Structure 1
Amino acid sequence: MTETTKAAGRADPPAADGQPLWTRNFTLYFTARIASLLGDAMLPVALSVAMLALGYGVSAVGYALGAWMGAFALFVVFGGVLADRIHPRPLMIGADAVRCGLIGATALAFATGRPELWFLIGVTALGGLATAMFQPGVNGLVPQVATDAHKANGVLRVAQGISTMAGPALAGLLAAFSPAWAFAVTAVTFGASGLCLLALRLGAYTVDRSASTLKNLREGWQEFRSRSWLWAVILIWWVLGVFVWGPVTPLGAASVTGEHGSAAFGYAEGAFGAGCVLGGLVAIRIRPARPLLGGAVAMFLFPLMPLAAGLAEDLALWLVLLGYAVSGIGWAFWGVQWSTTVQTQIPEDKLNRISAYEIAGSILAVPLGQVIAGPAGSAVGVHQLLLLAALMSAGCAAALIATAPIRRLRRTVRTPGSVQPVSPA
């Protein structure tokens, strides 16, 4: 049967033209997101530094991080189903509570001795599972807390850029001082996220709990494949994941640090985050009538990251950092257009499931790219493979523009109970 659920308290008033973005609900959601994103950025760095300091080695770190990614990829689709059946908020609060507890336990384990490898792998696997329950609801909550989804996504992309800059640096600093403190602060970020989500005041939300999980999965898949613009982007993202996102971090780290020193790659990642902040700010102001077309044009800036990494031996460090920063601008601008399009084109009662399929489709190719990066780099050469990644990035941007359903999709505005097309100015 179909049920209507309502969060405790009074909801913010419905969206209206000119209404401020920073309502009570959006301020709380923004705080929750920046706290959660900070924790997401801190965790892999804290784990890597702490495990290497204990002498576990690179392979063990890979097993632990792989356990997180594997659990996330396997269960994120089920997270989308549960978010549509229950409501994304309680699922996200529960996931934050689990992550806070798991990482807090890890902090205690490091404070009192040397954690066993099985414990660390188990914790990261459970953390990946909890994140799989959390992530599908991120898209689903934005239309419920924001009066302007486009502006909200721009602001949230700025938050992501800030977290990308601050998280790894903070985690590295704390882990060098004490791994226990690094994990303790990471646990606090997830606790803060959960408390902010708990304080939201949301209106009524209709859910259908009559269908089985299998039927919900089928319906989500049917909705996903019925939108050619959606699955076409994911297919292109598979190419990007294998040839670019998978290899660019390990190969980029090897290239940049080999030419400019061990701290240089951290600076480069920080520059990418700074570019994401700027790209998010630009996206708040610019609203293309065809958002995916506008985002695809911006994606022609993205190849500058693998290009700068591939040419690191021939470029001064400031030019490498500039390449990373400009790349971040393009990536963030695309991200705002994409998130807003998904949130406004998909019916609210199916948004979490489709977001889960979108997330799973986007990330599954990345581990494959990571696996082949090492052997391919040895066979072809690190710099050559990064230059190939730059070429493939440009090809993916061109493919986005060349695909008619992506190029022609028009911007829409979601009003209560409807989605209305917006004509170009």
Structure 2
Amino acid sequence: MVGDMVFYLALSWAAVQNGTAAQAGIVTAVSAVPRALLMLGGGVVADRFGPRRVVIGSDAVRCGTVLAVAAVLFVTDPGLWLLALLAVVFGTVDAVFLPAVGALPARMTTKDQLARVQGMRGLGIRFAAVVGAPLGGLGVAVGGSAAAFACAGLLIALSVPLLVSVRVRELPPDETTARNDTTAWRDLRAGLRHIRRHRVLAPLMITIALGDLGFVGPLNVGLTLLADERGWGASGMGWVLGGFGTGAGAAALLLAVRGRVPRAGLVTAGAIIPGAAAIAALAQVSALSAAVGVAVLVGLLTGLSGAMCGALLQTQTDPAYLGRVTAVAGIVSLGIAPLSMPLSAAAVGVWGTGPVFAVSALVCALGGAVALCTPGLRRAELPR
């Protein structure tokens, strides 16, 4: 995750140095396109060939690609086309890598520990956010984009032997045989059918999709525009992001320590709805200190709901389908939602931050309403 943070900072910096702001935005967003288009297929690959094998192979490809681009940039300045190609390749490999990562926990530990794994993963994300950006900035300051890409490649390279050391348990022989006797298309249809017929997974996917669609715009490009509108500056935006990270980290730590939260489905809905209200409130405060306080609340509530959604997804899904189910859950957050950021920016330009944050909050709240109004999800529990 730290390597990914450094990579995207290096990519955006190199794109800005080689083109206009609009061109840089296109380069940094283009990796989301192959993720959105190919992630379902990546889930099938993870389930057919085993998540451990797929995650090791795809991570090695990510590492080699980033290091190759770093070497090219040390020698010459090829322009935007290489950066765009790198973003497409990285997004394509991510379409396989991310579902495989999602399918690993259920093969590594028992169901009663999966919620704790989600909490630890949340802590890893927060750690990467704190460490990755300064490390990438240091790489750019010392040796430009080439050095930052090299740093990202080396960090990803360090993750490969760690992944090799992971041991997983195999699926029962009857499930493995059934999987190998079908085509990839039938595997994909079986995964979608598994979600559609499941009393918890079907509404959970809608909840995750609505939450991600409402969350990504305001907390990315929207926050930048809000900080500019309020006169907080870059440092003020950093404080708000720090508040969000603190709240999200606290939620992840809670789940990592407790391991199990009673009435998980109800807690999920109960965190999403007030979290959505906090997102709308963020655009209404003018004082920086108040904005930081609201951001802590947003991070705490959305971090808790996100971790609970991940824990429910892991515990409710049959391990044989986890790659495909993870892919479906990730299509919106990692493929479609990033593409909505230019639309959010355009909407802010027309209507201002208040209405756009309010609409985004309403979309998030609809996800909570789905969880609250669906008996299967509302009554869902984590294993003891």
- TM-score if structure 2 supplies the norm length? 0.89
1:357 aligns with 2:323: no
Secondary structure of 1:157's counterpart equals helix
Report the equivalent of 2:291: 320
Report the equivalent of 2:223: 252
Greater Cα shift, 369-378 or 349-358: 369-378
Task: Write out per-residue CA displacement over residues 14-64 of structure 1, whole angstroms, 9 at most, x where no aligned residue.
Answer: xxxxxxxxxxxxxxxxxxxxxxx1122222222112221x24122222222
Task: Work out the percentage of aligned pairs sharing the same amino acid.
Answer: 25
Which of 85, 102, 105 is the matching residue for 2:48? 85
Report the equivalent of 1:40: 4
Structure 1: unaligned runs, 5 residues or longer? 1-36, 413-421
In 2, Cα distance between equivalents of 1:407 and 1:69: 32
Tell me: CA distance 1:401–1:169, structure 2 relative to 1, closer, same or farther (3 Å): farther
In 1, Cα distance between equivalents of 2:22 and 2:222: 16
Report the equivalent of 1:10: none
Secondary structure of 2:30's counterpart equals helix
1:298 aligns with 2:271: yes
Tell me: CA distance 1:322–1:181, structure 2 relative to 1, closer, same or farther (3 Å): farther
In 2, Cα distance between equivalents of 1:230 and 1:277: 26
Structure 1 residue 325, shift from structure 2 partner: 2.2
Report the equivalent of 1:212: 183
Greater Cα shift, 299-308 or 94-103: 299-308
Tell me: CA distance 1:63–1:154, structure 2 relative to 1, closer, same or farther (3 Å): same
Which of 227, 241, 246 is the matching residue for 2:198? 227
Higher relative contact order (Cα pairs below 8 Å, separated by 6+ residues): 2
Tell me: CA distance 1:325–1:204, structure 2 relative to 1, closer, same or farther (3 Å): same
Structure 1 residue 138, shift from structure 2 partner: 1.8
Higher helix fraction (1 or 2): 2
In 2, Cα distance between equivalents of 1:407 and 1:179: 48
Which of 130, 135, 138 is the matching residue for 1:173? 138
Report the equivalent of 2:159: 193
Tell me: CA distance 1:192–1:308, structure 2 relative to 1, closer, same or farther (3 Å): farther
Which of 34, 45, 53 is the matching residue for 1:71? 34
- TM-score if structure 1 supplies the norm length? 0.81
Greater Cα shift, 318-327 or 69-78: 318-327
CA-based RMSD of the aligned residues comes to 2.2
In 1, Cα distance between equivalents of 2:356 and 2:170: 51
Report the equivalent of 2:239: 267
Tell me: CA distance 1:324–1:274, structure 2 relative to 1, closer, same or farther (3 Å): same
CA contact (8 A) 1:304 1:323 kept: no
Structure 2: unaligned runs, 5 residues or longer? none
In 2, Cα distance between equivalents of 1:345 and 1:399: 17
In 2, Cα distance between equivalents of 1:308 and 1:261: 19
Report the equivalent of 1:22: none
Which of 150, 154, 160 is the matching residue for 2:119? 154
Pairwise mapping of residues 7-22 of structure 1 onto structure 2 (< 5 A)? none
Pairwise mapping of residues 336-347 of structure 1 onto structure 2 (< 5 A)? 336-347=307-318
In 1, Cα distance between equivalents of 2:139 and 2:88: 23
Question: 1:98 corresponds to which letter in structure 2?
Answer: V
Structure 1 residue 361, shift from structure 2 partner: 4.2
How many residues align? The count is: 374
1:402 aligns with 2:365: no
